[in-house]
Amino acid sequence: MKKDSLNILELLQELDSGFTDEQKKRIEKKIDEMLSYTPRIGVFGKTGVGKSSLCNALFGEDICEVSDVEACTRSAQDVILKMGKGKGITLIDVPGVGEDQQRDEEYSALYQKLLPELDAVLWVLKADDRANSVDLDFYNNVVKPQLQQGKPFIVVLNQVDKIEPFREWDEAARRPGPKQASNIDAKISVVAANFGLKKSQIMAVSAEEKFGLSGLVDEIIFSLPDEKKLAVAREVAAENLSSAARAEVKESTTKVIGRVISGATKGAAIGAKFGVPGALVGGVIGGIGGFFGLW
């Protein structure tokens, strides 16, 4: 029978680790802190760029309200997603700027309050929109001063299937044609220069066509600190988690678990099955990966 929760103490006992009960509880506490962490990701951008649709596509569920008629996201939708066995992920679908001056002033205050609390920030642009002055103004005057050094900030070019020549889009393969791909790359270069970012921080996607989503997930995961990568990976739709991302999460989680267990091995008589702490780390990592279905 499949377990609905991962019990670290039971896992350590099954592995015959040789730790005392006190050491096991200390390890359990540290690992549980990592496993129970709920990451917060903010999704920003102008009204009508497809923020809610992007959230739905990334996580495989209709979690955010989507409307073709009006700008429906009037307040920050603080949605806790619980896709599988994890503790969930908090997705902040933020109201879009650029509707009118009064609302933009209200949203500016909201953005400044939210930004310091987030683990990653996604700013969504409509790929075929050449008018990015509102986005740049908010980025330079509101977002950029609030970003802590090293906090992941990614510009998402959404709806790249609409970039000219849009008739080149390969609907069967869900990817751009040669000229369209070239124009998408040119757009990425322009946006990177305007925002003063690296090209790797500009991700071309189409939420509707499910294009570029795994690349965006890769960028988010690779940008996060080691102890937060697993929390994101366990929640995204399986088809959006690349083998490279899985490998990165496994390696980073191994580092975190290694540090935790190394701290507890001082004075511990490692059990019969494990002659070295590294083998014990491997046993714990195997249990975590198997439980979440990540490796």
Q: Render pLDDT for 220-269 as a digit per residue (tens, 0 to 9).
A: 999 999 999 998 898 888 899 999 999 999 999 999 998 888 776 655 44
In the chain, DSSP finds a helix count (H) and a strand count (E) of 11, 6
CA dihedral 138, 118, 90, 32 (to 10 degrees): 170
Average pLDDT over residues 8-31: 79
* Per-residue model confidence as pLDDT tens digits over 191-202: 999 999 999 999
Average pLDDT over residues 155-164: 97
8 Å CB contact between 225 and 120 = no
Question: Token pair of 21, please?
Answer: 């009960």
Q: In a 3-state reduction of DSSP, which class is residue 292?
A: helix
Among 25-39, 49-63, 155-169, which range has the highest average pLDDT?
Answer: 155-169
CB atoms within 10 A of CB 80: 12
Domains of the chain: 8-35+242-292 (no CATH), 40-223 (3.40.50.300)
Q: If pLDDT is split at 50, 70 and 90, which confidence band does 55 have?
A: confident
Q: In a 3-state reduction of DSSP, which class is residue 80?
A: strand
209-236 b/e (C-beta count within 10 Å ≥ 16 → b):
bebbbbbbbbbbbebbebbbbbbbbbbb
Question: What is the Cα–Cα distance from 180 to 32, expressed in whole angstroms?
Answer: 46
Question: What is the Cα–Cα distance from 239 to 176, expressed in whole angstroms?
Answer: 20
* Per-residue model confidence as pLDDT tens digits over 72-103: 444 555 555 444 445 567 777 676 676 667 77
Whole-model pTM: value is: 0.84
